[in-house]
Amino acid sequence: MRQRVLSGMRPTGPLHLGHLVGALKNWVLLQEQYDCFFMVADWHALMSEYEHPEAIARNTRQMVADWIAAGIDPRRSVIFRQSDVPEHLELYMVLSILAPLGWVERVPTYKEQLREVTGRDLATYGFLGYPVLQAADILLYKANAVPVGEDQIPHLELTREIVRRFKFLYQADIFPEPKPLLTKEAKLLGIDGRKMSKSYDNFIALSEGPDEIRKKTQKMFTDPKRIKMTDPGHPETCNVCHYWEVFVPEQAPKVWEECRTSKRGCTQNKQELAEALIRIAEKFRSSPVDSNPVDKILAEGAERATKVARATMQEVKKAVGLS
Ligand code: TRP
């Protein structure tokens, strides 16, 4: 039997190139080896966006469209929305009851977000439970592996601790301990040289148009040691050259060599990169946003996810003495 993977993304904004290289490309490959569940984490999105939730439903549709354009196959993988499967909240309740307060308060992302996130009030009862809901997402499907970025490792660790506690309390071996599948790809930097992120407004969205991509690419930082075009470039420290390696690997050696030997200036380098990125973004721009394929995929996904979730909840209710 194939092992199971579950992962999710929060629909808080448009997907960008960083998501594509950091997560999506990896998800597409995982479909070859695992039975995959890919979830739009809209409850998690609501935890931070509850004061202005109006974009969540639209972002959910756009996200699913982008996933499919990237190569997530709705026939092979289960693509679903968290809030369509109420069992997530049932299991979340059970896990909340048995997760010691100290464990959740200790999760580093929690304190960090309270400190760093501005413009939103995250000091709520629900937000403390963020990683417990994430544990419920994973355990409901008995996932063996969870592809995540480095920042999510503490959430996986909490999930594993909860599994052990559940097993100890109820002498019931329902959940496998999920292991993290770390994405090897180094973080993609944004156009300002910081990590590409929605909150820094330094991203290139997957659905961005050609003019926007040209404008943003022109703004990218290059090798700071290269002042004049005749100076030899240092591609290994240039973000634009790094993009060539990530997005057009077959041409990168030539580009890097021309940069080193001053045959290629930074302006030309950015112009040509922009055209390459425009070609990559093309398939996302033409992806169906509002049309029913997405709604149909979500409806089918909800049905397939619910079957698994219901069966798990029956076992859980029995184990904890509710049925
Ligand atoms: N917390 C994850 C993030 O911000 C999103 C998420 C929610 C998730 N539930 C999940 C990821 C379950 C993996 C598994 O990226």
Q: What percent of the chain has pLDDT over 90?
A: 85
User: What pLDDT does residue 322 have?
Assistant: 97
pTM over 0.85, yes/no: yes
Average pLDDT over residues 106-134: 93
Average pLDDT over residues 39-46: 98
| Region of residue 182 (left: phi > 0; alpha: psi -120 to 50; beta: else) | beta
pLDDT greater at residue 198 or residue 268: 268
User: What pLDDT does residue 291 have?
Assistant: 56
Average pLDDT over the chain reads 94
173 close to 179: Cβ distance less than 8 angstroms: no
User: For residues 219 and 224, what is the distance between their CA atoms, to the nearest angstrom?
Assistant: 14
User: What pLDDT does residue 118 have?
Assistant: 85
Nearest CA to ligand 1 atom 14: 7
Ligand 1 mutation target, pool 134, 146, 179, 181, most atoms within 8 A of CB: 134
256 close to 235: Cβ distance less than 8 angstroms: yes
Q: Is the pLDDT of residue 295 over 60?
A: yes
Q: Is the CB of 10 under 6 A from ligand 1?
A: yes
Ligand 1 mutation target, pool 12, 89, 91, 148, most atoms within 8 A of CB: 148
User: What pLDDT does residue 289 have?
Assistant: 56
Nearest CA to ligand 1 atom 8: 8
Q: For 174-215, how does the pLDDT look when each residue is reduced to its tens digit (9 = 90+)?
A: 999 999 999 776 689 999 999 898 878 899 999 899 999 999
Of 177, 184, 204, 143, the C-alpha closest to 5 is 143
Q: Is the CB of 91 under 6 A from ligand 1?
A: no
User: What pLDDT does residue 117 have?
Assistant: 86
Q: Pairing relation of β-strands 4-9 and 35-40?
A: parallel
Q: Is the CB of 19 under 6 A from ligand 1?
A: no
> Can you list the domains of the chain with their CATH numbers?
4-188+290-319 (3.40.50.620), 210-285 (1.10.240.10)
Q: Is the CB of 156 under 6 A from ligand 1?
A: no
How confident is residue 131, by pLDDT bands cut at 50, 70 and 90? Answer: very high
How confident is residue 81, by pLDDT bands cut at 50, 70 and 90? Answer: very high
Average pLDDT over residues 128-135: 98
